[in-house]
Amino acid sequence: MIIHSISEPLFKDYGKVVEGYDVSELLKVMDEVTPLPEAVVYVPEQPEMQALPIAKEISDRLYGGMPVQLGWCNGHNTKLNCLEYHRDSEINLGTKDFILLLGKQGQIGDDWMFDTADTVAFKVPAGVLVEVYATTLHYAPCSASKGEGFKVLVALPKGTNTDKPEFTAVNHEDTLLTARNKWLLAHPESSEAIGGAVVGLKGVNVDIADDI
């Protein structure tokens, strides 16, 4: 699989580089406070990160005053497994280089299936803040080098990826909601699908292990 640079024009269809923020303290806290597990672990909000001045900057400037949560997704991974979307952009920042496997919400077919052949990979350099657009399908980051893990900031509107609201599903999209503000398309081979998530990916479960 081709791993593209976020400096390529192609990335503009999926997100953008965010400039004008001092991320040094955030990177320091992420490196010192958050773990690097063997599996992929996600925490919606980390108190030490939330207490930094940049949390208010992200709230005020990037989200226009909306309350936000600064969490993380850390671990080791090379597979797609699932794709998700929110009703808003997600902000990412890595202490090391990492890779995002992305698609577009508009590529979901009328059958609510996304063909994994349409997946595009981008390498995000360490210390670079990126916005992943609301219409971009994404999921857990991937390692950029063999055997190397990642620590990635996940900034989102407050409450995202927490307990799912209770309601009766009246259309197919309703069945994709697996947490608050999280619509998930699972690959049939993924643990999420085995656990009951709706299958929404067809084709090969992308694995970049041989490409890094």
Domain 3-211, CATH class in plain words: mainly beta
Q: Which helix (H) or strand (E) holds 49?
A: helix 47-50
| Exposure on the CB side of residue 97, measured as CA atoms within 13 A | 14
Q: Which one-letter DSSP state was computed for residue 62?
A: I
Task: Tell me what pLDDT residue 35 has.
Answer: 98
Per-residue pLDDT at 30: 98
- Give the SS3 label for residue 193: helix
Token pair 């207490």 is found at 51
Classify burial at 117, counting beta carbons within 10 Å of its beta carbon; exposed 0-12, middle 13-18, buried 19 or more: exposed
CA atoms within 13 Å, Cβ hemisphere of 67 = 4
- Give the predicted TM-score (pTM) of the model: 0.97
Measured at the CA of 82, the angle between CA 29 and CA 38, to 5 degrees, comes to 45
Predicted pLDDT at 163: 97
DSSP calls for 138-152: B-S-EESSTT--EEE
* Helices first, then strands: H and E counts in the chain: 5, 16
Task: Give the pLDDT confidence score for residue 172 in this predicted structure.
Answer: 98
Instruction: Give the pLDDT confidence score for residue 28 in this predicted structure.
Output: 98
| Percent of the chain whose pLDDT exceeds 70 | 100
Q: What is the pLDDT of residue 40?
A: 97
| Distance separating alpha carbons of residues 157 and 68, to the nearest angstrom | 4
Strands 3-5 and 120-124, bridge-based pairing: parallel
What is the rounded CA–CA span in Å between residue 110 and residue 149? 36
Measured CA to CA, the distance from residue 17 to residue 92 in angstroms comes to: 10
Q: Which residues of the chain have pLDDT under 70?
A: none
